[in-house]
Structure 1
Protein backbone atom coordinates (compact mmCIF):
# COMPACT_ATOMS: atom_id res chain seq x y z
CA UNK A 1 0.00 0.00 0.00
CA UNK A 2 1.10 3.57 -0.54
CA UNK A 3 2.55 5.55 2.30
CA UNK A 4 1.13 8.89 3.43
CA UNK A 5 1.09 11.06 0.25
CA UNK A 6 1.37 14.23 2.37
CA UNK A 7 4.81 13.19 3.62
CA UNK A 8 6.64 14.89 0.75
CA UNK A 9 10.13 16.34 0.54
CA UNK A 10 10.61 20.06 1.04
CA UNK A 11 9.85 21.81 -2.27
CA UNK A 12 13.06 23.84 -2.44
CA UNK A 13 15.19 20.87 -1.44
CA UNK A 14 13.59 18.78 -4.18
CA UNK A 15 14.16 21.53 -6.74
CA UNK A 16 17.79 22.03 -5.76
CA UNK A 17 18.48 18.28 -6.00
CA UNK A 18 16.76 18.11 -9.40
CA UNK A 19 18.69 21.17 -10.62
CA UNK A 20 21.99 19.59 -9.57
CA UNK A 21 21.08 16.32 -11.29
CA UNK A 22 20.27 18.14 -14.55
CA UNK A 23 23.48 20.17 -14.38
CA UNK A 24 25.62 17.08 -13.77
CA UNK A 25 23.93 15.26 -16.64
CA UNK A 26 24.80 18.21 -18.87
CA UNK A 27 28.38 18.19 -17.62
CA UNK A 28 28.68 14.53 -18.57
CA UNK A 29 27.24 14.71 -22.07
CA UNK A 30 28.25 18.14 -23.41
CA UNK A 31 31.25 18.50 -25.72
CA UNK A 32 30.97 22.29 -26.00
CA UNK A 33 33.29 24.21 -23.65
CA UNK A 34 30.89 27.14 -23.33
CA UNK A 35 28.01 24.83 -22.41
CA UNK A 36 30.27 23.10 -19.88
CA UNK A 37 30.97 26.46 -18.26
CA UNK A 38 27.24 27.12 -17.97
CA UNK A 39 26.57 23.65 -16.52
CA UNK A 40 29.43 24.14 -14.05
CA UNK A 41 27.89 27.42 -12.91
CA UNK A 42 24.43 25.86 -12.53
CA UNK A 43 25.88 22.92 -10.57
CA UNK A 44 27.70 25.36 -8.29
CA UNK A 45 24.48 27.32 -7.69
CA UNK A 46 22.57 24.11 -6.93
CA UNK A 47 25.21 22.99 -4.42
CA UNK A 48 25.11 26.44 -2.79
CA UNK A 49 21.31 26.18 -2.51
CA UNK A 50 21.64 22.75 -0.88
CA UNK A 51 24.26 24.13 1.49
CA UNK A 52 21.98 27.02 2.45
CA UNK A 53 19.05 24.67 3.01
CA UNK A 54 21.18 22.38 5.17
CA UNK A 55 23.00 25.29 6.85
CA UNK A 56 26.35 23.67 6.14
CA UNK A 57 29.45 24.72 4.13
CA UNK A 58 29.38 24.03 0.39
CA UNK A 59 32.36 21.71 0.90
CA UNK A 60 30.10 19.42 2.94
CA UNK A 61 27.65 19.25 0.03
CA UNK A 62 30.42 18.47 -2.47
CA UNK A 63 31.53 15.53 -0.35
CA UNK A 64 28.00 14.41 0.40
CA UNK A 65 26.61 14.22 -3.15
CA UNK A 66 28.97 12.48 -5.62
CA UNK A 67 28.75 13.53 -9.29
CA UNK A 68 26.31 11.45 -11.32
CA UNK A 69 29.00 10.88 -13.97
CA UNK A 70 31.41 9.32 -11.47
CA UNK A 71 31.80 8.08 -7.94
CA UNK A 72 29.96 4.98 -6.78
CA UNK A 73 27.88 3.55 -9.61
CA UNK A 74 24.34 2.43 -8.80
CA UNK A 75 21.70 0.67 -10.92
CA UNK A 76 19.38 2.76 -13.06
CA UNK A 77 15.63 2.47 -12.44
CA UNK A 78 13.15 1.46 -15.15
CA UNK A 79 9.44 1.61 -14.24
CA UNK A 80 6.57 -0.11 -16.12
CA UNK A 81 2.82 0.12 -15.59
CA UNK A 82 0.30 -2.68 -16.17
CA UNK A 83 -3.19 -1.36 -16.91
CA UNK A 84 -5.64 -4.27 -17.26
CA UNK A 85 -9.21 -3.84 -18.52
CA UNK A 86 -11.71 -6.57 -19.40
CA UNK A 87 -9.03 -9.25 -19.48
CA UNK A 88 -6.65 -7.29 -21.72
CA UNK A 89 -3.52 -5.27 -20.98
CA UNK A 90 -2.54 -1.82 -22.23
CA UNK A 91 0.51 -1.76 -24.52
CA UNK A 92 2.11 1.05 -26.50
CA UNK A 93 4.11 0.82 -29.70
CA UNK A 94 7.50 2.49 -29.30
CA UNK A 95 8.61 4.79 -32.12
CA UNK A 96 12.26 3.88 -31.49
CA UNK A 97 11.95 0.19 -32.43
CA UNK A 98 8.30 -0.24 -33.57
CA UNK A 99 7.82 -2.87 -30.86
CA UNK A 100 5.24 -3.01 -28.08
CA UNK A 101 5.63 -2.56 -24.33
CA UNK A 102 3.83 -1.64 -21.17
CA UNK A 103 4.08 2.15 -20.76
CA UNK A 104 7.10 3.26 -18.78
CA UNK A 105 10.68 4.43 -18.86
CA UNK A 106 13.54 5.76 -16.77
CA UNK A 107 12.60 7.12 -13.36
CA UNK A 108 13.11 10.87 -13.09
CA UNK A 109 14.88 12.38 -10.10
CA UNK A 110 12.44 14.35 -7.94
CA UNK A 111 9.41 12.12 -8.56
CA UNK A 112 8.24 9.11 -6.55
CA UNK A 113 7.86 5.70 -8.27
CA UNK A 114 4.07 6.16 -8.44
CA UNK A 115 4.37 9.68 -9.84
CA UNK A 116 6.84 8.44 -12.43
CA UNK A 117 4.65 5.63 -13.74
CA UNK A 118 1.45 7.66 -13.64
CA UNK A 119 3.15 10.34 -15.73
CA UNK A 120 4.63 7.79 -18.15
CA UNK A 121 1.24 6.15 -18.80
CA UNK A 122 -0.30 9.56 -19.48
CA UNK A 123 2.53 10.67 -21.76
CA UNK A 124 2.71 7.41 -23.73
CA UNK A 125 -0.95 6.34 -23.83
CA UNK A 126 -2.98 9.43 -22.90
CA UNK A 127 -4.56 7.73 -19.88
CA UNK A 128 -4.80 9.05 -16.35
CA UNK A 129 -4.10 6.19 -13.92
CA UNK A 130 -3.41 5.60 -10.25
CA UNK A 131 -0.60 3.24 -9.21
CA UNK A 132 -2.26 0.54 -7.10
CA UNK A 133 0.48 -1.91 -6.15
CA UNK A 134 4.02 -3.00 -6.94
CA UNK A 135 3.79 -6.52 -8.36
CA UNK A 136 7.43 -7.14 -9.26
CA UNK A 137 10.90 -5.71 -8.71
CA UNK A 138 13.51 -7.38 -10.89
CA UNK A 139 17.24 -7.07 -11.44
CA UNK A 140 17.48 -6.99 -15.20
CA UNK A 141 20.61 -9.12 -15.49
CA UNK A 142 18.93 -12.01 -13.63
CA UNK A 143 16.23 -12.38 -16.28
CA UNK A 144 16.38 -13.13 -20.03
CA UNK A 145 16.31 -9.54 -21.30
CA UNK A 146 18.77 -8.64 -24.09
CA UNK A 147 22.29 -7.93 -22.85
CA UNK A 148 22.80 -4.35 -21.70
CA UNK A 149 26.01 -2.57 -20.65
CA UNK A 150 23.98 -0.66 -18.06
CA UNK A 151 22.59 -2.12 -14.85
CA UNK A 152 18.88 -1.82 -14.08
CA UNK A 153 16.32 -2.48 -11.43
CA UNK A 154 12.92 -2.85 -13.08
CA UNK A 155 9.81 -1.91 -11.10
CA UNK A 156 6.40 -3.15 -12.30
CA UNK A 157 3.17 -1.57 -11.03
CA UNK A 158 -0.47 -2.50 -11.41
CA UNK A 159 -2.31 0.71 -12.31
CA UNK A 160 -6.01 1.58 -12.28
CA UNK A 161 -7.56 4.02 -14.81
CA UNK A 162 -9.15 7.06 -13.18
CA UNK A 163 -11.06 8.12 -16.29
CA UNK A 164 -12.94 6.23 -18.99
CA UNK A 165 -10.98 7.55 -21.95
CA UNK A 166 -9.52 5.36 -24.70
CA UNK A 167 -5.73 5.09 -25.11
CA UNK A 168 -3.97 7.16 -27.73
CA UNK A 169 -0.29 7.42 -28.70
CA UNK A 170 2.00 10.14 -27.39
CA UNK A 171 5.21 11.81 -28.56
CA UNK A 172 7.35 8.67 -28.12
CA UNK A 173 4.75 6.12 -29.22
CA UNK A 174 3.01 5.46 -32.53
CA UNK A 175 0.06 3.39 -31.28
CA UNK A 176 -1.65 2.23 -28.08
CA UNK A 177 -4.26 -0.39 -27.31
CA UNK A 178 -5.38 -3.33 -25.19
CA UNK A 179 -4.29 -6.90 -25.91
CA UNK A 180 -5.41 -10.27 -24.58
CA UNK A 181 -2.68 -12.42 -22.98
CA UNK A 182 -2.93 -15.01 -25.78
CA UNK A 183 -2.77 -12.40 -28.55
CA UNK A 184 0.24 -10.25 -27.66
CA UNK A 185 2.00 -8.30 -30.44
CA UNK A 186 5.78 -8.32 -31.02
CA UNK A 187 7.24 -7.13 -27.73
CA UNK A 188 10.14 -4.77 -27.14
CA UNK A 189 12.31 -7.24 -25.24
CA UNK A 190 14.58 -4.60 -23.75
CA UNK A 191 11.53 -3.08 -22.05
CA UNK A 192 9.43 -6.08 -21.09
CA UNK A 193 9.26 -9.82 -21.52
CA UNK A 194 6.14 -11.88 -22.09
CA UNK A 195 6.72 -13.21 -18.55
CA UNK A 196 6.37 -9.67 -17.18
CA UNK A 197 2.97 -9.33 -18.81
CA UNK A 198 1.71 -12.72 -17.62
CA UNK A 199 2.95 -11.84 -14.12
CA UNK A 200 0.76 -8.74 -14.30
CA UNK A 201 -2.31 -10.83 -15.13
CA UNK A 202 -1.48 -13.22 -12.28
CA UNK A 203 -1.11 -10.36 -9.81
CA UNK A 204 -4.34 -8.78 -11.06
CA UNK A 205 -6.26 -12.03 -10.52
CA UNK A 206 -4.75 -12.79 -7.13
CA UNK A 207 -5.02 -9.24 -5.75
CA UNK A 208 -2.10 -9.91 -3.36
CA UNK A 209 -1.38 -7.80 -0.31
CA UNK A 210 0.41 -4.80 -1.80
CA UNK A 211 3.95 -3.80 -0.85
CA UNK A 212 4.45 -0.29 0.46
CA UNK A 213 5.97 2.12 -2.05
CA UNK A 214 6.77 5.82 -2.40
Structure 2
Protein backbone atom coordinates (compact mmCIF):
# COMPACT_ATOMS: atom_id res chain seq x y z
CA UNK A 1 0.00 0.00 0.00
CA UNK A 2 1.37 3.42 -0.93
CA UNK A 3 2.42 5.95 1.67
CA UNK A 4 -0.62 8.06 2.66
CA UNK A 5 1.29 11.28 1.94
CA UNK A 6 2.14 10.16 -1.58
CA UNK A 7 -1.48 9.24 -2.21
CA UNK A 8 -2.69 12.60 -0.89
CA UNK A 9 -0.23 14.71 -2.89
CA UNK A 10 -1.03 12.86 -6.13
CA UNK A 11 -4.72 13.50 -5.49
CA UNK A 12 -4.11 17.20 -4.73
CA UNK A 13 -2.16 17.55 -7.97
CA UNK A 14 -4.95 15.89 -9.95
CA UNK A 15 -7.56 18.19 -8.39
CA UNK A 16 -5.46 21.26 -9.20
CA UNK A 17 -5.01 20.22 -12.83
CA UNK A 18 -8.72 19.48 -13.17
CA UNK A 19 -9.47 22.92 -11.74
CA UNK A 20 -7.17 24.53 -14.29
CA UNK A 21 -8.95 22.68 -17.08
CA UNK A 22 -12.48 23.72 -16.17
CA UNK A 23 -12.11 27.08 -14.41
CA UNK A 24 -12.48 30.35 -16.36
CA UNK A 25 -11.79 32.74 -13.49
CA UNK A 26 -8.29 34.18 -13.76
CA UNK A 27 -7.84 34.30 -9.98
CA UNK A 28 -8.93 30.69 -9.55
CA UNK A 29 -6.62 29.66 -12.39
CA UNK A 30 -3.71 31.32 -10.63
CA UNK A 31 -4.55 29.54 -7.36
CA UNK A 32 -4.87 26.16 -9.09
CA UNK A 33 -1.52 26.72 -10.78
CA UNK A 34 0.06 27.48 -7.40
CA UNK A 35 -1.45 24.33 -5.90
CA UNK A 36 -0.24 22.24 -8.86
CA UNK A 37 3.29 23.66 -8.52
CA UNK A 38 3.35 22.99 -4.78
CA UNK A 39 2.08 19.45 -5.32
CA UNK A 40 4.83 18.77 -7.86
CA UNK A 41 7.44 20.11 -5.43
CA UNK A 42 6.11 17.79 -2.72
CA UNK A 43 6.07 14.85 -5.17
CA UNK A 44 9.69 15.55 -6.05
CA UNK A 45 10.59 15.60 -2.36
CA UNK A 46 8.70 12.38 -1.59
CA UNK A 47 10.20 10.62 -4.60
CA UNK A 48 13.68 11.99 -3.85
CA UNK A 49 13.96 13.23 -7.44
CA UNK A 50 14.73 16.63 -8.97
CA UNK A 51 11.69 18.79 -9.66
CA UNK A 52 12.41 18.76 -13.40
CA UNK A 53 11.93 14.98 -13.48
CA UNK A 54 8.53 15.30 -11.82
CA UNK A 55 7.43 18.19 -14.06
CA UNK A 56 8.39 16.08 -17.07
CA UNK A 57 5.76 13.48 -16.09
CA UNK A 58 2.97 16.02 -16.53
CA UNK A 59 3.97 17.85 -19.71
CA UNK A 60 1.09 18.32 -22.17
CA UNK A 61 2.93 16.19 -24.75
CA UNK A 62 3.32 13.36 -22.22
CA UNK A 63 -0.12 13.53 -20.62
CA UNK A 64 -3.32 14.98 -22.00
CA UNK A 65 -3.20 17.62 -19.27
CA UNK A 66 -6.35 18.99 -17.78
CA UNK A 67 -8.36 16.19 -16.24
CA UNK A 68 -5.71 13.86 -14.82
CA UNK A 69 -6.59 10.17 -15.02
CA UNK A 70 -4.67 6.97 -14.17
CA UNK A 71 -2.28 5.55 -16.74
CA UNK A 72 -2.88 2.03 -18.03
CA UNK A 73 -0.28 -0.73 -17.67
CA UNK A 74 -0.91 -4.12 -19.32
CA UNK A 75 0.82 -7.42 -18.50
CA UNK A 76 0.66 -10.76 -20.27
CA UNK A 77 0.98 -14.08 -18.42
CA UNK A 78 2.12 -17.20 -20.26
CA UNK A 79 2.47 -20.61 -18.59
CA UNK A 80 4.35 -23.59 -19.97
CA UNK A 81 4.70 -26.87 -18.07
CA UNK A 82 3.50 -25.11 -14.90
CA UNK A 83 6.19 -22.45 -15.24
CA UNK A 84 5.63 -18.74 -15.91
CA UNK A 85 7.27 -16.64 -18.62
CA UNK A 86 9.29 -13.70 -17.29
CA UNK A 87 11.52 -11.12 -18.95
CA UNK A 88 14.57 -9.40 -17.48
CA UNK A 89 14.28 -5.63 -17.80
CA UNK A 90 17.31 -3.76 -19.12
CA UNK A 91 16.37 -0.68 -17.12
CA UNK A 92 16.83 -2.27 -13.68
CA UNK A 93 18.13 -5.82 -14.26
CA UNK A 94 15.09 -7.34 -12.54
CA UNK A 95 12.37 -9.66 -13.81
CA UNK A 96 8.78 -8.95 -14.78
CA UNK A 97 5.81 -10.23 -16.69
CA UNK A 98 6.01 -8.89 -20.27
CA UNK A 99 4.11 -5.64 -20.57
CA UNK A 100 4.11 -1.87 -20.35
CA UNK A 101 2.11 1.24 -21.18
CA UNK A 102 -1.01 0.75 -23.28
CA UNK A 103 -0.65 2.53 -26.64
CA UNK A 104 -3.39 4.56 -28.27
CA UNK A 105 -5.35 2.89 -31.07
CA UNK A 106 -5.13 -0.64 -29.67
CA UNK A 107 -7.41 -2.50 -27.28
CA UNK A 108 -6.06 -3.62 -23.92
CA UNK A 109 -5.78 -7.20 -25.23
CA UNK A 110 -4.03 -6.09 -28.42
CA UNK A 111 -1.57 -4.01 -26.40
CA UNK A 112 -0.80 -7.02 -24.22
CA UNK A 113 -0.17 -9.25 -27.24
CA UNK A 114 2.11 -6.58 -28.73
CA UNK A 115 4.10 -6.23 -25.51
CA UNK A 116 4.64 -9.99 -25.17
CA UNK A 117 5.92 -10.16 -28.74
CA UNK A 118 8.22 -7.14 -28.33
CA UNK A 119 9.69 -8.30 -25.00
CA UNK A 120 9.65 -12.11 -25.30
CA UNK A 121 9.61 -12.67 -29.07
CA UNK A 122 6.48 -14.85 -29.27
CA UNK A 123 3.01 -14.36 -30.73
CA UNK A 124 0.23 -14.89 -28.22
CA UNK A 125 -3.52 -14.50 -27.95
CA UNK A 126 -4.88 -12.81 -24.83
CA UNK A 127 -7.59 -15.16 -23.57
CA UNK A 128 -8.68 -14.02 -20.09
CA UNK A 129 -8.54 -10.80 -18.10
CA UNK A 130 -7.88 -12.21 -14.64
CA UNK A 131 -7.04 -9.07 -12.65
CA UNK A 132 -7.42 -5.28 -12.69
CA UNK A 133 -5.28 -3.74 -9.96
CA UNK A 134 -4.88 -0.20 -8.67
CA UNK A 135 -1.13 0.06 -8.26
CA UNK A 136 -1.36 2.40 -5.27
CA UNK A 137 -3.32 -0.21 -3.32
CA UNK A 138 -0.85 -3.05 -3.91
CA UNK A 139 2.59 -3.87 -2.53
CA UNK A 140 4.32 -2.36 -5.54
CA UNK A 141 7.26 0.03 -5.40
CA UNK A 142 5.93 3.59 -4.84
CA UNK A 143 5.22 5.69 -7.92
CA UNK A 144 4.41 9.39 -8.28
CA UNK A 145 2.07 8.45 -11.14
CA UNK A 146 -1.19 6.57 -10.72
CA UNK A 147 -1.81 3.30 -12.59
CA UNK A 148 -4.47 0.76 -13.35
CA UNK A 149 -2.74 -2.55 -14.07
CA UNK A 150 -4.50 -5.05 -16.35
CA UNK A 151 -3.34 -8.67 -16.28
CA UNK A 152 -4.22 -11.09 -19.11
CA UNK A 153 -3.65 -14.81 -19.40
CA UNK A 154 -2.28 -15.52 -22.87
CA UNK A 155 -2.16 -18.58 -25.13
CA UNK A 156 1.00 -19.08 -27.19
CA UNK A 157 0.60 -19.66 -30.90
CA UNK A 158 2.37 -22.85 -32.09
CA UNK A 159 6.02 -23.42 -33.03
CA UNK A 160 7.78 -20.45 -31.44
CA UNK A 161 10.90 -19.90 -29.37
CA UNK A 162 11.22 -17.15 -26.78
CA UNK A 163 13.90 -14.50 -27.22
CA UNK A 164 14.73 -11.17 -25.57
CA UNK A 165 13.59 -7.95 -27.22
CA UNK A 166 14.93 -4.39 -27.41
CA UNK A 167 13.92 -3.51 -23.83
CA UNK A 168 14.80 -6.87 -22.27
CA UNK A 169 18.12 -8.61 -21.80
CA UNK A 170 16.91 -12.12 -21.01
CA UNK A 171 13.76 -14.23 -21.01
CA UNK A 172 12.83 -17.56 -19.45
CA UNK A 173 10.28 -19.80 -17.77
CA UNK A 174 10.35 -20.09 -13.98
CA UNK A 175 8.73 -22.33 -11.41
CA UNK A 176 6.33 -20.51 -9.15
CA UNK A 177 8.33 -21.50 -6.07
CA UNK A 178 11.63 -20.32 -7.60
CA UNK A 179 10.90 -16.88 -9.00
CA UNK A 180 13.89 -14.60 -9.71
CA UNK A 181 14.15 -11.11 -8.16
CA UNK A 182 11.10 -9.20 -9.41
CA UNK A 183 10.87 -5.61 -10.65
CA UNK A 184 8.27 -4.66 -8.05
CA UNK A 185 7.32 -1.42 -9.74
CA UNK A 186 5.93 -3.62 -12.52
CA UNK A 187 4.88 -6.90 -10.95
CA UNK A 188 4.73 -8.59 -7.55
CA UNK A 189 4.61 -12.27 -6.70
CA UNK A 190 0.90 -12.23 -5.92
CA UNK A 191 0.15 -11.15 -9.52
CA UNK A 192 1.71 -14.40 -10.71
CA UNK A 193 0.11 -16.47 -7.96
CA UNK A 194 -3.33 -15.09 -8.84
CA UNK A 195 -2.72 -15.99 -12.49
CA UNK A 196 -2.01 -19.60 -11.57
CA UNK A 197 -5.08 -19.71 -9.34
CA UNK A 198 -7.14 -18.55 -12.31
CA UNK A 199 -5.61 -21.24 -14.54
CA UNK A 200 -6.59 -23.87 -12.00
CA UNK A 201 -10.09 -22.42 -11.61
CA UNK A 202 -11.02 -20.42 -14.74
CA UNK A 203 -14.63 -19.99 -13.61
CA UNK A 204 -13.63 -17.65 -10.79
CA UNK A 205 -14.37 -13.92 -11.27
CA UNK A 206 -11.81 -11.37 -12.34
CA UNK A 207 -9.89 -9.95 -9.39
CA UNK A 208 -10.20 -6.21 -8.92
CA UNK A 209 -9.62 -3.58 -6.22
Contact conserved, 1:133 with 1:210, CA < 8 A, in 2? Answer: no
Query: TM-score, with normalisation over the residues of structure 1?
Result: 0.66
Q: Which of residues 118, 135, 140 in structure 1 aligns to 2:113?
A: 118
- Does 1:104 find its partner at 2:99? yes
Counterparts of 1:127 and 1:144, CA distance in 2 = 29
Q: Which of residues 171, 175, 197 in structure 2 aligns to 1:176?
A: 171
* SS of residue in 1 equivalent to 2:176: coil
Cα shift at 1:27: 5.6
Counterparts of 1:112 and 1:209, CA distance in 2 = 23
Counterparts of 1:157 and 1:190, CA distance in 2 = 18
- Does 1:167 find its partner at 2:162? yes
* SS of residue in 1 equivalent to 2:191: helix
Match of 1:42 in 2: none
* SS of residue in 1 equivalent to 2:78: strand
* SS of residue in 1 equivalent to 2:61: helix
Match of 1:203 in 2: 198
| 5+ long unaligned stretches in structure 2 | 1-57
Match of 1:150 in 2: 145
Contact conserved, 1:127 with 1:163, CA < 8 A, in 2? Answer: no
Counterparts of 1:70 and 1:146, CA distance in 2 = 25
After superposition, the C-alpha distances for 1:98-147 in whole angstroms (9 at most, x for unaligned) are 00000000000110011000000000000100000000000011111111
Q: What is the total number of aligned residue pairs between the two structures?
A: 149
Counterparts of 2:99 and 2:164, CA distance in 1 = 13
- Does 1:76 find its partner at 2:71? yes
Contact conserved, 1:81 with 1:117, CA < 8 A, in 2? Answer: yes
Counterparts of 2:121 and 2:205, CA distance in 1 = 26
Query: TM-score, with normalisation over the residues of structure 2?
Result: 0.68
Match of 1:28 in 2: 61
Counterparts of 2:137 and 2:188, CA distance in 1 = 13
Counterparts of 2:182 and 2:60, CA distance in 1 = 34
| 5+ long unaligned stretches in structure 1 | 1-24, 30-67
Cα shift at 1:166: 1.9
Going from structure 1 to structure 2, the CA distance change for 1:112 and 1:187 (only over 3 Å counts) comes to: same
